[in-house]
Amino acid sequence: MESIFLTLTFQDVKMIESNCYSLMQTFALFIFIIFGIWLTIISVVIYRIWFLFAKITKGVEVKDLKKVLEKVLDQEEQSQREISEIKKKIDWLESDGKLHMQKVGLTRFNPFKELGGDHSFSLAILNSEDSGIIITSLHTRDRTRVYMKDIKNGKSESELSADEKKALIQARK
């Protein structure tokens, strides 16, 4: 029995070596790309942390972390005090604003058929609790008369005319 031995020729060996080197170079390039991406991500994160620390330590002579945190806490306490003062002022303005005149109703009418035009009017002025006044002006050829009636919680102690009731309903809307 004859055995057949295959021997590699010089060209075969060269091809095997070049394939091996090519595979190793590709793997090394892949590792370097991954390493480069990783370094870029770490650099961005460190830059952001450094920028934030520089922003926080602005105005502090010694860049001691304890002093920086104390400064931040002092600013937060000051902000809380200012916010509570603003809330008190807003509450006061809201309660005070309820007493101001907020609703207005106007009705123009002609009380006397012999006069032309709607020169007379009833004006209702109310606050948020429907309290206020109704001013009525009656215009004639000779004179103009003005009357005022108090309104408390949407009602008057005096009897209201139909036009005054219209002005009151219009104001309460």
Please name the residues in contact with 48: beta carbons below 8 A apart, sequence gap of 6 or more.
none
Please name the residues in contact with 163: beta carbons below 8 A apart, sequence gap of 6 or more.
107, 109, 111, 120, 122, 136
Each residue of 9-22: pLDDT tens digit?
555 555 555 566 67
Each residue of 32-51: pLDDT tens digit?
999 999 999 999 999 999 99
- More confidently predicted of 59 and 118: 118
The long-range contacts involving 166-170, CB below 8 angstroms and separated by at least 24 positions, are 166/105, 166/107, 166/122, 167/105, 167/106, 167/107, 167/122, 167/123, 167/124, 167/134, 168/105, 168/124, 168/126, 168/134, 169/105, 170/105, 170/106, 170/107, 170/124
Distances (CA, A) of 56 to 51, 64, 71: 9, 11, 9
In terms of pTM, does the model score above 0.75?
no
How do 155-156 and 132-139 pair as beta strands?
Answer: unpaired
Domains of the chain by residue range: 61-97, 103-172
